[in-house]
């Protein structure tokens, strides 16, 4: 399997070397590593030029990770694509185990892995309890697939028209839904093969308001799917408001939690 790795880069100076090293140390070699300098200007260009073995694409203006990934996807020459963020870490056997999984389970067009979140103090949590064969009815509930864990056929991304650049927070969740809706299958390797950094260094998910806005955009866009499944709409909205509340403070936190609890009263499974 020929694999290209895509890394959006915007102000990721502090951790990029560690991220790139984790890819270089993979026990399965990649065909190319494409780094998209997403509007970081000359400073980012100069910084990235210090690293060997990467293809750099410089964008004049910051367009966000979805647009950056889409630009790189269209330039990829390999059949398979893996994504990594500029501050996350792959375990050495990540790709090897995914390639083995895909070779043994040819029904899948993509697979993702378990995740360990961490910060400057150490590991926070590990997530390996996910569906082996993700179904659309499961995918609309919560976001199971995080891009740095995903290995996918380029043709599947082309078929669903890439990441939606209009979504600013839930674009990975939306991509998963559209992949499954088109009939592609996503498998799961139940080992924590990536480490996702959780720090207050501009990560959009640290802002409860942005999380809620992204989730509501996702819900509106895919409403035709949510209404197919009994209770799916209220379950998603409940989780959206409760998650946003957990990322908020003060009065806003109380309001979001209250709305979530009111929504739960309309769903017997949440009472």
Q: What is the pLDDT of residues 62-92, one digit of tens each?
A: 999 999 999 999 999 999 999 999 999 999 9
Q: What is the pLDDT of residues 23-63, one digit of tens each?
A: 999 999 999 999 999 999 999 999 999 999 999 999 999 99
Q: How crowded is residue 154: how many other Cβ atoms within 10 Å of its Cβ?
A: 17
Q: pLDDT grade, residue 271 (50/70/90)?
A: low
Q: What is the structure's pLDDT at 268?
A: 75
Q: What is the pLDDT of residues 118-177, one digit of tens each?
A: 998 999 999 999 999 999 999 999 999 999 999 999 999 999 999 999 997 899 999 999
* Averaged confidence pLDDT in the chain: 93
- Homologous superfamily of the 3-204 domain (CATH): Spore Coat Polysaccharide Biosynthesis Protein SpsA; Chain A (3.90.550.10)
- Asked whether the predicted pLDDT for residue 215 surpasses 80, the reply is yes
Sorted by where each begins, the domain ranges of the chain are 3-204, 207-270
Q: What is the structure's pLDDT at 200?
A: 58
* CA-to-CA separations, 191 to 98, 113, 188, 195, in angstroms, rounded: 10, 6, 9, 11
- Asked whether the predicted pLDDT for residue 209 surpasses 70, the reply is yes
For residues 181-186, give the mean pLDDT: 97
Q: pLDDT grade, residue 270 (50/70/90)?
A: confident
Q: What is the structure's pLDDT at 206?
A: 53
For residues 93-104, give the mean pLDDT: 98
Confidence (pTM)? 0.92
The DSSP-derived string for 15-70 is: THHHHHHHHHT-SS--SEEEEEEES-HHHHHHHHTT-SS-EEEEESS---HHHHHH
Q: What is the structure's pLDDT at 201?
A: 45
């Amino acid at each position: 399997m020929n694999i290209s790795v895509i890394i959006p880069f915007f102000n990721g100076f502090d951790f990029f070397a560690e991220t790139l090293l984790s890819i270089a140390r993979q026990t399965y070699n990649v065909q190319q590593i494409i780094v998209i300098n997403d509007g970081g200007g000359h400073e980012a260009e100069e910084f990235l030029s210090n690293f060997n073995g990467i293809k750099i694409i410089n964008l004049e203006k910051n367009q966000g990770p979805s647009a950056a990934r889409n630009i790189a996807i269209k330039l990829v020459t390999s059949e398979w694509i893996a994504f990594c963020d500029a501050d996350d870490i792959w375990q050495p056997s990540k790709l090897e185990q995914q390639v083995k999984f895909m070779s043994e389970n040819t029904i899948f067009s993509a697979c993702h892995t378990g995740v360990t979140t961490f910060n400057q103090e150490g590991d926070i949590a590990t997530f390996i309890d996910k569906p082996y064969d993700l179904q659309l009815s499961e995918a609309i509930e919560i976001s199971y697939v995080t891009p740095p864990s995903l290995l996918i056929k380029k043709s599947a991304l082309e078929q669903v028209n890439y990441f939606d650049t209009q979504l600013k927070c839930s674009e990975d969740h939306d991509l998963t839904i559209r992949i499954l809706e088109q009939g592609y299958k996503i498998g799961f390797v139940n080992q924590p093969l990536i480490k996702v950094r959780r720090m207050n260094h501009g990560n959009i998910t640290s802002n409860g308001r942005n999380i809620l806005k992204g989730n509501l955009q996702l819900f509106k866009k895919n409403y035709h799917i949510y209404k197919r499944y009994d209770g799916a709409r209220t379950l998603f909205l409940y989780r959206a408001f409760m998650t946003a509340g957990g990322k908020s403070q003060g009065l806003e936190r109380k309001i979001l939690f209250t709305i979530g609890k009111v929504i739960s009263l309309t769903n017997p499974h949440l009472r």
